[in-house]
Amino acid sequence: MDDDKFHEECGVFGIYGHPDAAAHTALGLHALQHRGQEAAGIVAFDGKHFNAHRDLGQVGDIFSSSAVIARLPGHAAIGHNRYATTGETALRNVQPLFADLSNGGFTLAHNGNLTNARALRHGLVQKGAIFQSTTDTEVIIHLIATSEAGSLIDRMTSALRQIEGAYSLVAMTDSCLIAVRDPLGVRPLVLGRLGDTNVVASETCALDIIGAEFVRDVEAGEMLVLDESGVHSLRPFPPAPRRPCIFEYIYFARPDSMMEGTSIYEARKRIGMELSDESAVAADVVIPVPDSGVPAAIGYSVRSGIPFELGIIRNHYVGRTFIEPAQQIRNLGVRLKHNANRNSIEGKRVILVDDSIVRGTTSVKIVEMVRAAGAAEIHMRIAAPPTMHSCFYGIDTPQREELLASSLDVAGMAKHIGVDSLAFVSLDGLYRAMGETGRDAKAPQYCDACFTGDYPIRLTDFEQSDRPAQLSLLAERA
């Protein structure tokens, strides 16, 4: 895992009406592994009992045994992949969470971040609530448990109307499966169908792996109830302008997924084309920083006419347990994951294409490696605008002062990284790649707060507390 990349908090999956619900959920979580690698869990319901298995690690390690799946019988199941930030990685935080409510058993999995979780949690604790985890997801369960509304759907609606933030969640009771997307649609969620079975997931790639047909995106602010009679759509929130996360298209989502009718792969190619239009430079070869820079590099090459080459080869078999006992060895760490293909680099003017620059530490090492392979010039092109602000909506980002673009201008970053030139796609260019004419400053079509600082959802906890405490809270989210 790369500490100099942003990380999506988690992925969710739910299925209702299939005799092998848990096995299909495990496959779906495999497809969503890129959204979270620290832990995974599945809860299935067999008509009488909620059967759960959660553990730390990756999906293939946790659910590889047929014996584990056999202990998860049921016709309905929900699953979750978690990426822990610098906060606690502990079994008590692994989702889905489960609770026995007055209405019966209830289990919940959540992708995103609540921006008023600290305030809500404080109020609940003052009233006697006892929390078992440090995730903001548990706040939702306590709000449901203490609601005085009638049905569980009404209680859940009451709870969701109290929370602020960005989220997609799946929940399950003894009679239905519930899927909800936040009012602005920041975090993704899709609906699919496998025969007579209904499926929800963070991305369409999770539908593909089980052979399910994509039906549609869950709309912003929509609640779906999946039960024996089918799919029911509810609208528990007042209408609000859509603001899906634009970084899903740049980096987070798998390139073979579709979001809001847009192919992630094609969007990334178009971003590369915009990069070529905006920051052309004389060069001999376009080289992606694998793997996330590949589609944009292809787009850059197509538009510029400069040949595309795999000048950096990625080792896909690097585990997290590699021991780096000394600083001299630690400094070689980038070579564990990447190695320069000298034949494609030596003596050439190279355009390096990457998806983003966060702290810049990996970029420095990549550039040093390409220089050592004999590049005559290195021009770095980034398929995102400069990332100057932290995300509070479910993405693990460093503190703002750790973001390279927050302290240096483009020329300063180029010098720091060691390239002959550096350019980022413009914000308008990014929007053009998404099929817009540009960014509508009065009503932006996406959440782009990491570039602009324009946060579309109130940051209540951040506003009401000192910064260190808030950052500590954010480190323990989802």
d(CA 213, CA 208) in angstroms, rounded, equals 7
- What's the pLDDT at 9? 67
pLDDT band (50, 70, 90) for residue 333? low
Task: Give the CATH architecture of domain 7-243.
Answer: 4-Layer Sandwich (3.60)
- What's the pLDDT at 171? 98
On the question of pLDDT at 326 being above 60, the answer is no
**Could you tell me which residue, 265 or 292, shows the higher pLDDT?**
265
Known binding residues for [4Fe-4S] cluster are 245, 391, 447, 450
Kindly list the domain boundaries of the chain, sorted by start residue: 7-243, 261-454
Known binding residues for Mg(2+) are 292, 354-355
pLDDT band (50, 70, 90) for residue 166? very high
Alpha carbons within 13 A on the beta-carbon side of 315: 12
Known binding residues are 245, 292, 354-355, 391, 447, 450
Backbone angles phi, psi at 144, to 5 degrees: -65, -45
Torsion of CA 153, 155, 156, 158, to 10 degrees: 120
d(CA 338, CA 336) in angstroms, rounded, equals 6
In the chain, pLDDT over 90 holds for what percent of residues? Answer: 82
Domain 261-454 classification at class level:
alpha beta
On the question of pLDDT at 390 being above 60, the answer is yes
Total Cβ atoms within 10 A of residue 239:
9
- Considering 10, 109, 259, 403, which one is annotated as catalytic? 10
10 among known catalytic residues? yes
pTM for this entry: 0.91
pLDDT band (50, 70, 90) for residue 316? confident
